[in-house]
Amino acid sequence: MFDKKRLKERMNAHAAVSFGRTPEELDTKESHIAFSKAIMEEVVPLWTATKKRQEGKKKACYLSAEFLMGRALGNNLMNLGIDDEAREVLGNLGMNLNDIEEAEEDAGLGNGGLGRLAACFLDSGASLGYPLDGYGIRYEYGIFKQSIIDGAQVEEGDNWLEYGDPWSVRRLDEAVKVTFFDGPVLAVPYDTPVIGYGGKTVNTLRLWKAEAVRPFGFKEFNDEDYEGSVREKNNAETITRVLYPNDCTDRGKLLRLRQQYFFVSASLQDLVAKHIAKGLDLRAFPEHHAIQLNDTHPAVAVPELMRLLTEEHGMDWDEAFDITRRSLAYTNHTILAEALEQWPVRLYRKLLPGIYEIIRKIDRSLQSDLRSMGIRGKAQDRYRIIHGGSVKMAWLSIYGTHSTNGVAELHTDLLKETELRHWYDIYPERFNNKTNGITQRRWLKMSNPELSGLVTELLGTDGWITDLDLLEGLRDHADDEDVLLRLNSIKRMKKVQLAEHIRKVEGIEIDPDSIFDIQIKRLHEYKRQLLNAFHILDLYYRIKEGNGEGIAPRTFIFGAKAAPGYKRAKGIIKYINEIANLVNSDPETKDRLKVVFVTNYRVSYAEKLFPAADISEQISTAGKEASGTGNMKFMLNGAPTIGTLDGANIEIVEEAGEENSFIFGLKVDEIEAMKESYDPHVPYMEIPGLKRVVDSLVDGTFDDGGTGAFRELHDSLLKGASWHRPDNYFILADFASYREAQEAVGKAYKDRLGYAVKCLMNIAGAGKFSSDRTIREYADEIWSLEN
């Protein structure tokens, strides 16, 4: 039983030991560290008990380059079920739990949906009682902290570990060596508890930190070579310094390759060593371990496990490959051909010569298998793992595993029919779908307690917290005016809360009675933030010309980070902020249109944005978004989708009802049919108002600071640029349809009760999109795992 007196005593002790002061003398960041350490003492016995209970059971191991966990304290208190007790203890010390939670830095371990999905999966695994552990990298600085200066993105180090990490345990006793061509580095594990809802299961997120085998060269120092004395230390620690270093040069590419091999090798060495230490036969490895590769970042697991089995443990090649294949499974997260990861052979041979030779042998094994299927000569080229001077990581992942899954029904169908059709033709049994999901515990219960309370009241149970399908029962209240009014009231409350936060953080006043139109996701051309921006500018011009009658007041909110080397994406951020400056400062429009680009978008900001949204922007080019999970978080919080029939949007519309969504744009088959003949100049010239907004990129309306970014954006639409054809993502082709859908949103919103029905139906249909359902499917159909 939770002991409030003991927790207070621990808080006092940690304040004294960590900071030499009493709890009352600490600032909020120090209070967060001391209080989290006190809670950690409650967690450790549960953690230990879970490990003992899971002994001997088959374990799933989720290998991912990202784990976008978000803040830990509030989530852990909720899952332990001790929120109220914690609030009381802190109150007695003169502290506020909300203030302490806000003082916590977001863990800098991920950037986008890939990492947030991994975090949701770990939460679901623990909440459902499955033995599911995560393995990744303990990045020192994360991707970057984003500032917006003169409308442009500026990156600085995200020092999330400045005050330490009270939730992790350094396990130097389980460190392993990872060897590159230029010598070994030490991989030191840091273990973080992943607490399932109810606190019965506490799984582990193991993150590896790179350290030098010889951290200090005394001889070099004594010889006055001071830089040389710490060179090995600095080189080793660089491996885990930053998430996704810029890979525009060979040095950046080599660092990314080091990162990938580092965490994969450390994880597999750890798993194999522990398997053997238990007295188990390596031939039984697949019966005890299900290893999931989250995209191709961990694809080097295929040759690395082969290296361990054949070179370290003397196993026959064919037997080792059978064990490797049965142990590993692969999740594909992209349909974009250009995003199917591949690396120059010259870099692989330089950094990992031994691993490269194993990949060559795997490639020869593939050729032999293909010949046995009657695929010979040049017909093999499209399958070859090493071809055209590149190592193709997706091909390695498919060939070297027993399962390849997509992450939404459309995505999986497209993989089988287009990008991976040749693989599906020869290995149809390996392909399956696992539609992504989100954890309702963080994204509804914790981030929207007001709506959570209403849902529990209407259903007469809080069972939805672990069984989201129960939300179906909300459909019975679609005709209850009182319920709809209360739903609207909660939505406005969340909008007021967000407006206050934006006022404090961004210095911008926004109107809670306007439509909150929100697009928050990684900045990429295919996600089409530029389409949204063009529509905003079109609205502005229409209002200025006196043609804005009937346009409901709108607040457009963007949140996104562009990869540091992705110049076109950074140009889009600058363009959106130029539009914001124009619209927000014009007396004729500032009360009807407002544009906000929130800075440093991250999980803790998202927890405020999703509950406040009136409309969810999911406007990627059809066939380009694998799934999306932001669309599910919006849906769960009662925001209808304006979107294309892409990714999981299709399934969202099926569950919520097309009448409760705003669907527009070309479909996948329509894009395929017109792709070769499409001329973007046709919509550019013929769609009223479109030429004017597109030309704002180059006619002097806006200033890109002399970078040429706006001209390059303009050319990418009308002339094509770098690797792609003109208007590659059909922004101009979909503009008119998008504008019509936006007009439908404005009209629907005026009927406040009618719009509340749409919101309620979205919440009621969200049950399918729990990551609990996804994890059950992985456990049953890929991992053969029991809880």
Task: Give catalytic residue positions.
Answer: 333, 521-522, 527, 629, 633
Assign residue 689 a region: left if phi > 0, alpha if psi is -120 to 50, beta otherwise?
left
- Paired with 636 in beta bridges are none
What is the Cα–Cα distance from 43 to 128, expressed in whole angstroms? Answer: 18
Q: Which residues contact 205 (CB under 8 A, 6 or more apart)?
A: 67, 69, 122, 133, 134, 135, 136, 191, 192, 193, 194
Q: In sequence order, what DSSP letters do the residues of 682-747 get, joined into one string? A: HHHHHSTTHHHHHHTTTSSSS--TTS-HHHHHHHHHHT-BTTB-TTTT-HHHHHHHHHHHHHHHHH
- Judge contact between 396 and 299, C-beta under 8 A: yes
What is the Cα–Cα distance from 123 to 303, expressed in whole angstroms? Answer: 30
What is the Cα–Cα distance from 637 to 631, expressed in whole angstroms? Answer: 10
- Judge contact between 635 and 656, C-beta under 8 A: yes
- Judge contact between 431 and 412, C-beta under 8 A: yes
**Run of H or E residues at 634:** helix 630-636
> What do you get for the CA distance between the two ends of the chain, in Å?
24
- Judge contact between 180 and 165, C-beta under 8 A: no
Please state whether beta strands 59-63 and 289-294 pair in parallel, antiparallel, or not at all (unpaired): parallel
What is the Cα–Cα distance from 398 to 366, expressed in whole angstroms? Answer: 11
- Judge contact between 543 and 588, C-beta under 8 A: yes
Which residue blocks in 210-352 are alpha helix, DSSP H? Answer: 218-222, 226-229, 231-238, 250-277, 285-288, 301-307, 317-327, 345-351
For 59, 289, 402, 601, 786, the CA distances from 283, given in Å and listed in that order, are 16, 11, 16, 46, 21
For 306, 401, 429, 684, the CA distances from 325, given in Å and listed in that order, are 10, 4, 14, 51
Residue the block writes with tokens 């490990």: 51
- Paired with 273 in beta bridges are none
What is the Cα–Cα distance from 528 to 372, expressed in whole angstroms? Answer: 45
Structure tokens at 730: 């059909």
